[in-house]
Structure 1
Amino acid sequence: MSIKSEIKSLIIRKGYTIKDVADQLGEKYNKSYSPENLSNKLRRETIQYKEVKDIADIIGYKLVWDDKEQQ
């Protein structure tokens, strides 16, 4: 599954829209953050890790790094 598909499906699963998330990112970064900008970043896979962490926070997820060697 592509980054775009994975993030979009998580956003939708939690009952948000790309517009909802873009609006909240815009508030957080104190700048204009359009749904088109977010969609383009997802489509081109140029989204920054910090933005992915912020999206996860907005929709109620936490990114966890799992050490597979510990299992």
Structure 2
Amino acid sequence: MKSNLRNEIKSFIVRSGYTMQEVVDRLSEDYGWSDSVSNLSNKLQRESLRYVEAVQLADALGYDIIWGPRKSETLVGRGGAAK
């Protein structure tokens, strides 16, 4: 599962036409992030990206994070089990 999230975010970076270094440079300049590619890579690998960081990353790539209802009627409760 972890590699799926990392790969998904990296695919957004590639589709946006940026390199990891360019994204890190933008995040550093705009939001004060570390200018180290390895720090971003580690966050993606460990899935330790905070929500505010995800919003900032999306912004740097020209995306918005939009909340919307699921297409499926399957809901996941607090315990993680589908209802």
- TM-score tier, shorter chain, comes to 0.7 to 0.9
**Which one of 27, 30, 42 corresponds to residue 28 of structure 1?**
30
CA deviation after TM superposition for structure 1 residue 22, in Å:
0.9
Identity %: 46
Q: Cα RMSD between the aligned structures? A: 2.0
* Structure number with higher helix proportion: 1
Q: Which runs of 4+ in 1 moved over 4 A?
A: none
Of the three residues 1, 4, 7, the one matched with 2:6 is: 4
Kindly tell me the number of residue pairs found equivalent between the two proteins. Answer: 70
Letter in 1 for 2:5: I
Going from structure 1 to structure 2, the CA distance change for 1:3 and 1:31 (only over 3 Å counts) comes to closer
Q: Do the aligned partners of 2:24 and 2:33 also contact (CA within 8 Å) in 1?
A: no
The answer to which structure, 1 or 2, has the higher relative contact order (CA under 8 A, 6+ apart) is: 1
Q: Structure 2 length normalisation: TM-score?
A: 0.73
Larger radius of gyration: 2
* TM-fit CA distance, 1:31: 5.1
* Structure 1 segment 1-71 matched on structure 2, within 5 A: 2-30=4-32, 32-68=34-70
